[in-house]
Amino acid sequence: MAKISFKLTGIKELQQAIEKREDLTPVKTIVAKHGVLLQQKTISNMNAAYTAGYSTGATARSVTNDIGDGGLSATVAPHTEYFPYLEWGTRFQSAKPTLKPAFAYQSVKFVNDLQKLMK
């Protein structure tokens, strides 16, 4: 199975400001909040995109949100073997992106919340 990952890299100044903070609790709260929102948006996108008669909802049910790095990272991922084929398509079926659009939407809100915290 192909491993799919997205990594958000931000503005260097924002990263440095976060690293200088002694109390990272607000940052951890923002990471947890947006991890949950990304998971919900991904599942919502899947429920809207995967509507064919053979759709069972297994991929949407497999989406997890794991908090790591002491609360400073959130990993949202579906865990069905065939998810990459759904997301990017094959030569026999067109792509039905769900995770990438959810990430694009949520990452902007995540960065905005972090920037508000640094003001």
Q: Parallel, antiparallel, or unpaired for β 73-77 and 64-68?
A: antiparallel
What is d(CA 77, CA 53) in angstroms, rounded to the nearest whole number?
24
pLDDT in the model for residue 4: 60
pTM (whole model) above 0.85: no
Q: 89-119, pLDDT tens digit by residue?
A: 999 999 999 999 999 999 999 999 988 887 7
What is d(CA 117, CA 119) in angstroms, rounded to the nearest whole number?
6
CB 109 within 8 Å of CB 37: yes
CB neighbour list of residue 86: distance below 8 Å, 6 or more residues apart: 50, 59, 95, 96, 98
Range with lowest mean pLDDT among 8-12, 42-46, 78-82: 8-12
Q: How many helices (H) and strands (E) does the chain have?
A: 5, 2
pLDDT in the model for residue 87: 95
